[in-house]
């Protein structure tokens, strides 16, 4: 890489002096990206633009299995956190949960599935059902989806 004097691009000042001349061809200056265009990473190269969205679903669960969220084929991330300090939660996909067929989420614990993209690593798109080992247990479910 060679050093060069860098001019401003689109009125945005540049504090990077170690870029290749081609770096300024397709992207805006270092201070931020133009909407609809990639951002710039620490190296001055194009960075990944996050198009995914996440939604929090706080819930209170008891000793009856309940559907927390319906099936979603666009789901790419899932986090369920048991906020109770003393009782387990049980999680199941696509059908009611119970202590025998559910994944155990220990007190103050969580269960996380990271997919990344549709057709990528596995994140179930089925409905999510949870049951608690005690009444009035608090939790939160975070669902990440790829927008349409």
Outline where DSSP puts E strands in 83-126. 89-93, 103-105, 110-114
Assigned CATH topology for domain 53-145: Jelly Rolls (2.60.120)
Closest CA to 53 of 70, 24, 75, 82: 75
The span from the first CA to the last CA of the chain, in angstroms, equals 40
Q: Is the pLDDT of residue 127 over 90?
A: yes
User: Using one digit for the tens of pLDDT, what is the confidence trace for 49-83?
Assistant: 777 889 999 999 999 999 999 999 888 899 999 99
Please report the pLDDT score of residue 46 as a whole number: 66
- Every domain of the chain and the residues it spans: 1-49, 53-145
CA distance readout (Å), 74 to 44, 54, 110, 111, 114: 32, 12, 22, 19, 13
């Amino acid at each position: 890489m060679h050093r060069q004097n860098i001019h401003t691009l689109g009125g945005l000042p540049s504090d990077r002096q170690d870029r290749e001349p081609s770096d300024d061809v397709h992207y805006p200056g270092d201070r931020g990206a133009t909407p609809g265009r990639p951002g710039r990473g620490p190296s001055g190269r194009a960075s990944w633009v996050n198009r995914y969205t996440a939604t929090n679903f706080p819930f209170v669960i008891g000793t009856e299995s309940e559907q927390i969220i319906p099936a979603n084929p666009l789901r790419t991330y899932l986090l369920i956190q048991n906020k109770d300090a003393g009782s387990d939660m049980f999680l199941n996909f696509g059908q009611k949960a119970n202590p025998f067929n559910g994944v155990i989420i220990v007190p103050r614990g969580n269960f996380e599935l990271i997919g990344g993209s549709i057709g990528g690593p596995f994140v179930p798109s089925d409905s999510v059902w949870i049951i608690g080992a005690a009444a009035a247990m608090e939790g939160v479910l975070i669902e990440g989806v790829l927008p349409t």
